[in-house]
A and B are shown apart, each in its own frame.
Chain A
Amino acid sequence: MKAKLPGYAGQILYVDLTTQKTETRPLPPELAREYLGGRGFVARLLWDEVPAGTDPLGPENRVVIAAGPLSGLFIPGAGKLHLGTKSPATGGYGDANVGGHLAPELKYAGYDAVVIRGVSEHPCVVVIDDGAVRFLDGSQWWGQGAIETETRLKAKLGHDFQIMTIGPAGEKLVKFACISHDFGRQAGRTGVGTVFGSKQLKAIAIRGSRDVPVADVKGVQEHGRKMYEVCFSKPGFEEWTPYGTAGVTDWVNEVGAFPTRNFQTSYFPEHERINGQRIREKILVTDKGCFGCPIPCGKYSRVKVQRGEAFVEGPEYETIALIGGNCALATIEEVGYANYVADELGLDTISAGNVAAFAIECYEKGLLTEEQVGRKLAWGCLDSVVFLLEAMAAREGIGDLLAEGVKTAASVIKGGSEKFAIHVKGLEWSGYEARYAPAMMLSYMTADVGAHHNRSWAITYDVAVGRETLEGKAEKVIELQHIRPLFDALGLCRLQWVEIGFELEHYAAIFPLVTGWDYSWTDLLAISERIWNLTRSFSAREIEGYGRDFDYPPARFYEEPIPDGPAQGRFIPKEQLEELLDRYYHLRGWDRRGLPTRAKLEKMGLQFVLDALGEKVS
C-alpha cells in the first residue's frame, strides 16, 4: 500500500444516492499539489464531475465536501470544511464553509473529500464511520428542524459523531437553504442546503479515529505550539473574544456601512441595542469555539421574547446586520429569536434577512398588498420577520415566490423593485453597505459566488486610503481575493489573522512542515489565483452571457444617494463602477467582458477549460 501524502487522509469518497453505493478512490497527488484542498478540491472536482448545463436541482449536480491539508491538525483555526455545488441561487459556481468539527472528523474517518451524486428515492442519512459508509432511511427526520435533527441523530448514533443537517427550507428547495452543524453553525451561502434537499439528503454523520500523517511531526508540534503562544500573546487577544464578530456592529454604523431597512440607508440609530455588548449583557450563556480555536467567537445564548424562548448560537455580526438592522429589529432578544427561527428552518440568515427586508420594502411601497402577503408587514416587527421566514421555508403563499430569492422575486413583482433587490449574480448581499466604499463595492461585485464579503473584506482599506478615490482599489481587492480564499483551500479559519493580527508568515512556515512540499506563501497565493480563475470559468461555462453584466450591484447603489447618517449623500456613479471593473479585469488578465483570456488560462495551468469555454475565450 502506498504511503499517504503528508497532510492528507489520502482518499476521496464518492457517494451515489441513486444506487446507495459508494466508491473510494485514492487522492490523486497532482490534485493535492495543484489545488491544495478545501475550496480548491471543490472547484476542480465540480468542474470535472458536473456536466455542463446541469440542472442545479437535478441528479447530475454534485455536492463536493472537502477538508484542507491543515484541517484537523494542531494549528489555530484548523476546523474549516468547504462545501460546493452548482448553485441553485446563481446557476454558477457556489460554495460555503463551516467551522465546528466536521473537517477534522472527515479526515480522521479517512477522507479528504466526499462527492455526493444522484438523488435518493426516499429521504436518507449518510453515515461515514471510520471508513465504513452506510445509508439510513431519513424519513423519520424529514420535516424536522435542522438543529432538532442533529440532536436526535446524536442520540441515535452517538455523541462522538459530527453531523451536518438541513432543515425544512432545504427540503422545500428554498434557494438559500443552508447546512447546519454543531447546534448553530452553518455553511450558509449559495444554496448548498437546497441541493442536499433536492437529493433527499437530510444529513451526513461522520466519525473517525484514524491518523493523519505529517511530514515533520516534531516540527509541526513545535511550530503549532508557537502559533498558539503567539495568538495568546497578541495585544487585545482577551478583548476581542468576549464580543466575537458582533463587536464590529458599532464601528460599521460609525463609518456608515450598516445595512438598514433593506439597504435604504447605512446607519441604524438603534445599533447599540443589538451589538456585541448587548449579547454579553443580556443573553449570553457561554462562549463557544470550533476545533482548535484559541479565540472562540461563538456566543451561545438564551433569548426570551413575547413569542417564546430559545437557545441560539449567535447572533453573529452578519445576522445582526441582515436580520437586525436590515429588518430594523431593535433589540438583541428579537434578533436572537429570529436567528433561532432561521437556524431551525435551515435558512441562510444573510439571504433570508435580505429577502424579508425586500418584502417589507415592497409592502411599504405598495408593490405587495396585505391580501397578497396574508398580513401587514412593518419594519422593526418581529412577528413580520418570523412570518416571512416561516412562509419562505414552507413555500406557503407569498413565501413560495420569496423562496426564490430577491432577484427572481423582483422580476415577478416588478414596479421598480429590481432596483432594490440587493444582490449580485443572484446571491443576496452580506453585511456591509458599500455606497461609500469603492474597494468594498468592487469586492462584492467580483466575488465569485455573488455578493459575499468573505472573498475580500476591503472596507478598512477604503477608510485608510480615502473613501472617494478609486486608485489602488482594484489592486487591493485582487490581493485579498487571493489571500482570504487561500484559507478555504488550506482548511483554516481566517479569523485569527483578521481579528487579532496573527501573522500570515506562521501559516507559510507550517505548510511545508505538514506536507513536506517546499511551497512559499507566494506559491500558495498562485494556487489561490488558479482556483479563482477556475471558479470564474465554471460560471462562464454554466451561464449564458456570463461576465461583466453579472458584476454590477443593484441600481440603488449607483443611483440613490444614502439619505442620512455618516455616509449621507454618498453613492458610486455607474461610470466609476465601469472604471473599477476595467481596472480589475485588466489586472486579472481578463478581457473587457470579464472573462479569462486564453493566455491567462494557459498561464494558470487551466488549459483543460479551454475546450469547454470554446469561443467564449478570447
Chain B
Amino acid sequence: MKVTLLVYGHTREYFPGRAERHEIELPGPLSVEEILSKLLKVDPALVMAVMAGGRRYPKSYVPQDGEEVVLLSPAAGG
C-alpha cells in the first residue's frame, strides 16, 4: 500500500531531502507515528498534528491505502 505525507512549515527542514511531499510504500497498515520513526527516520515529536480528509487526528492515525495526510509543523508564536 502507498500513502502520501505532505509536510509544511519549518519542520520540513528535518525531513529527507527537505521535501514537502513524501510518497511512501508501506509493508502494511502503519500509524503516522510509525511511518515517521521507522521509515523516514524522523522524530514524531517534530510533527504537531495530523490532518486527513479535512479532520485533525493524533499521530496514532493509520492512513488508508492511497490517502494523503498533512503533517502540521509546530507553530512558533509571534
Contact with A along B37-65 (1 / 0, CB 8 A): 00000010110110100001000000000
Q: Which residues of A contact B74 (CB under 8 A)?
A: 248, 251-252, 459-460
Task: Please give, as numbers and ranges, the residues of chain A lying within 8 Å of B46 by CB-CB distance.
Answer: 460, 463-464
A453 at the interface (CB under 8 A from B): yes
- At the interface, yes or no: B30 with Cβ under 8 Å from chain A? no
A247-B72 contact, Cβ under 8 Å, with A235-B20, A453-B77: yes
- Using known A-B contacts A318-B78, A464-B43, determine if residue A235 contacts B7 with beta carbons closer than 8 Å: yes
> Which residue in chain A gives the minimum CB-CB distance to B71?
A236
CB pair B73 A499 closer than 8 Å: yes
Cβ–Cβ contact B9 & A499, under 8 A:
yes
Q: How large is the interface on B (under 10, 10 to 19, 20 to 34, 35 or more residues)?
A: 20 to 34
- Interface size class on chain A is 35 or more
Task: Judge if A137 is at the interface, Cβ distance under 8 Å.
Answer: no
Docked-complex contact A498 and B8, CB < 8 angstroms:
no
Contact call A457/B8, Cβ cutoff below 8 A: no
Counting chain B CB atoms within 10 Å of each CB, the highest count among A250, A316, A460 belongs to A460
**CB-CB nearest 4 A-B residue pairs:** A235-B6, A248-B75, A501-B8, A457-B76
Chain B residues near A498: list those with CB within 8 A.
Answer: 9-10, 75-76
13 inter-chain pairs at a CB distance below 8 angstroms, sorted by A residue, are A236-B71, A239-B70, A240-B72, A244-B75, A247-B48, A248-B74, A248-B75, A252-B74, A277-B56, A431-B77, A460-B74, A463-B43, A501-B9
CA distance A134 to B77 in the complex (A): 36
Partner of A236, one of B13, B72, B76: B72
Question: Which chain B residue has the least Cβ–Cβ distance from A497?
Answer: B10
Q: Contacts of A251 on B, CB cut-off 8 Å?
A: 48-49, 74
Complex contacts, A120 vs chain B, CB 8 Å: none
B14 touches A245 (CB 8 A): no
The complex places the Cα of A454 from the Cα of B61 at a distance, in Å, of 32
Report chain A residues within 8 Å CB of B45.
254-255, 463
Give Cα A254 to B51, complex, Å. Answer: 18
Q: Is the CB of B10 within 8 A of A501?
A: yes
Chain A nearest CB from B33 CB (Å) reads 12
A500-B9, A501-B12 known; A453 vs B48 contact (CB < 8 Å): no
- What is the CA–CA distance of A235 and B70 in the complex, to the nearest angstrom? 7
| Chain A residues, Cβ within 8 Å of B7 | 235
- A441-464 interface bits toward B, Cβ cutoff 8 Å, 1 = contact, 0 = none: 000000000000110010110011
Q: With A and B bound together, what is the CA distance between A466 and B76 in angstroms?
A: 19
What residue in chain A is nearest B5 (Cβ atoms)? A235
Residues of B within 8 A of A495 (CB): 78
Tell yes or no: A317 within 8 A of B by CB. yes
- On whether the beta carbons of A316 and B56 are closer than 8 Å, the reply is no
Given contacts A236-B70, A239-B72, A499-B9, contact A250 B49 (CB under 8 A): yes
Give the distance in Å from the alpha carbon of A498 to the alpha carbon of B43 in the complex: 19
* Given A250-B49, A460-B46, A463-B43, CB of A500 within 8 Å of CB of B77: no
B77 touches A317 (CB 8 A): yes
Residue of B nearest to A495 (CB): B78
Known: A236-B70, A245-B78, A430-B77. 17 other contacts (CB 8 A): A235-B8, A236-B8, A247-B75, A251-B74, A254-B45, A317-B77, A454-B77, A454-B78, A459-B74, A464-B14, A464-B43, A493-B78, A499-B9, A499-B73, A500-B9, A501-B9, A501-B20
